[in-house]
Every structure is written in C-alpha cells, then in structure tokens.
C-alpha cells in the first residue's frame, strides 16, 4: 500500500510572549518533520530552536542517503541528527557569550512507507490521531511529568503547577543527549501532530482529536488548534505540524 502525506505547519507568538522562540521545518521528499521550542532568553531561544531544526534536517537527510534510504535504518539516522543538533547548539553557546545557557526541545519524525519513527527530547509532543482519539507518542522529559509518573503528583495538580516549564532533558543542555525513539505502523486515514507545549498546556488530547479529525484538511486543523490555544490564554508560543496520511496522491 502506497501512503502519501498532506502537510500543514503554523507557528504563532501567542498572546503573552514578546518574541517567538519556536521553530519548525519539514522535508516532504524525505518524509521528515521537526518542531523545536527554544529557551534561554529572547535571542538565545530563537537561535537554539532554529539551529536545531536546520541541523536536524540537514543531518537526517545526509544519514538517510548514506544508509540507502532504508526504512529500517531510520532510528539510527534520527539519533545521529539529534546528536548533531545538540552539538551545534552546545558549540554555538560555548563561543558566543550572548547565548550561554540556551537550549531547545525537539520532536521529530520520519514517515517511510507505512513506518513512522518519532524522536524527541524535552516536552514538545507527538500524537497519532486515529479512530477518534489523539494517542500520545511521546512522554515529556519534565519535572512535572516525572512527578506524575512516580505517583507523587496528581494530573489535576500538575496542570496547575508553576513548575510546568522545568524540563529535565534538552538539546544544548549537555555535551551528550539521549533522545527517546519510537516506531509504529501507520495506515490510511491516520493523522500525525507534532507540537510545542504552547498548544498542549491549553488544549487536551480529546480536544485535539475533535479539532483535527473534524477538519477539512491539515491547514484548517492547524489553524483551529492555534486559535483554541489563544482563546484559552495563549500563554506561550504555539507551533504545530499536522500531517494527514492517506492512500493515493
């Protein structure tokens, strides 16, 4: 079965921030998608996220080509791309004092035939939308998520916590980074969402599913999601890539 992807991507400054530290990129020819949420001050966050997105795409393409485009080697290609993005941010922060302490989250994916590979560092997320549900494909690398997983904090308390921005893994934080990687099979009618926490802080998985699956296409879906986040306060930058997977061209 030949599967094709229809893609839309949007980013919005939101209603509170003075600048947009999110970035995104994709390469439809290679089936690559990536979203980053920068941190480290106005200039630093923007630089870190753009540098990570650009490096991830360049290295992922190079690795895919060098590995003969084999779907089974996607995990290796994405891990190398994440490692290269991390080195790029670390090096830039090391020689330019203006950017000391900058970093970024990263959630990326490659769609190769029926195989979807997702890689992430931080609290930007990926969802698979199928059968009326938005199923999370990532687990946040954050203080709050760790507390919930260990049973030390309830979900409702976590949603109100002032510690939501504290992440435990990030691109640029250390010389080496350990991403989480997940493989799964997709099918006709599936949707993929990559997004920063500017969306997920305000919009639940159930609401994401309703907004996306009732949309006419990815462009409408991405617009709906961002507008809902802004209606709920728009407390952070909001970025999403929406991919609809279907048979035919």
**Own/partner long-range contacts of 163-168 (Cβ < 8 Å, ≥24 apart):** 164/197, 164/201, 166/142, 167/105, 167/122, 167/123, 167/140, 167/141, 167/142, 167/143, 168/141, 168/142, 168/143
Per residue in 120-172, pLDDT (tens digit) is: 999 999 999 999 999 999 999 876 655 556 555 555 554 554 455 668 999 99
Express as a percent the part of the chain with pLDDT over 90: 80
Residues with Cβ within 8 Å of residue 21, at least 6 apart in sequence? 37, 38, 39, 42, 45, 46, 48, 49, 237
Mean pLDDT of 11-18: 96
Residue 97: burial class (beta carbons within 10 Å; 0-12, 13-18, 19+): exposed
pLDDT tens string 188-234: 999 999 999 999 999 999 999 999 999 999 999 999 999 999 999 99
Predicted model pTM? 0.93
The topology under which CATH files domain 3-244 is Phosphatase 2c; domain 1 (3.60.40)
**Residues 82, 106: Cα–Cα separation, whole Å:** 8
- pLDDT beyond 50 at 11: yes
Q: Read off the pLDDT of residues 84-94 as tens digits, 9 standing for 90 and up.
A: 999 999 999 99
Query: Over pLDDT 70: what percentage of the chain?
Result: 89
């Amino acid at each position: 079965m030949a599967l094709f992807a229809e893609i839309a991507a949007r980013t919005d400054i939101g209603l509170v921030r003075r600048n947009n530290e999110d970035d995104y990129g994709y390469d439809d020819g290679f089936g690559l998608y990536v979203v980053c949420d920068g941190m480290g001050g106005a200039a630093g966050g923007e630089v870190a996220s753009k540098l990570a997105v650009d490096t991830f795409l360049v290295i992922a393409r190079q690795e895919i080509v060098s590995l003969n485009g084999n779907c089974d080697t996607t995990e290796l290609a994405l891990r190398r791309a994440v490692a290269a993005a991390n080195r790029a941010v670390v090096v830039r922060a090391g020689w330019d004092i203006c950017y000391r302490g900058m970093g970024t989250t990263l959630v990326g994916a490659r769609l190769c035939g029926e195989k979807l590979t997702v890689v992430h560092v931080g609290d930007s997320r990926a969802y698979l939308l199928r059968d009326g549900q938005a199923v999370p494909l990532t687990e946040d690398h954050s203080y709050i998520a760790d507390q919930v997983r260990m049973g030390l904090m309830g979900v409702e308390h976590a949603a109100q916590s002032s510690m939501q921005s504290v992440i435990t893994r990030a691109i640029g934080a250390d010389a080496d980074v350990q991403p989480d990687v997940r493989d799964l099979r997709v099918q006709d009618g599936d949707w993929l969402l990559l997004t920063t926490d500017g969306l997920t802080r305000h919009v639940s998985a159930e609401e994401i599913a309703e907004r996306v699956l009732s949309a006419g296409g990815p462009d409408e879906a991405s617009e709906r999601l961002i507008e809902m986040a802004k209606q709920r306060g728009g407390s952070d930058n909001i970025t999403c890539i929406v991919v609809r997977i279907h048979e035919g061209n």
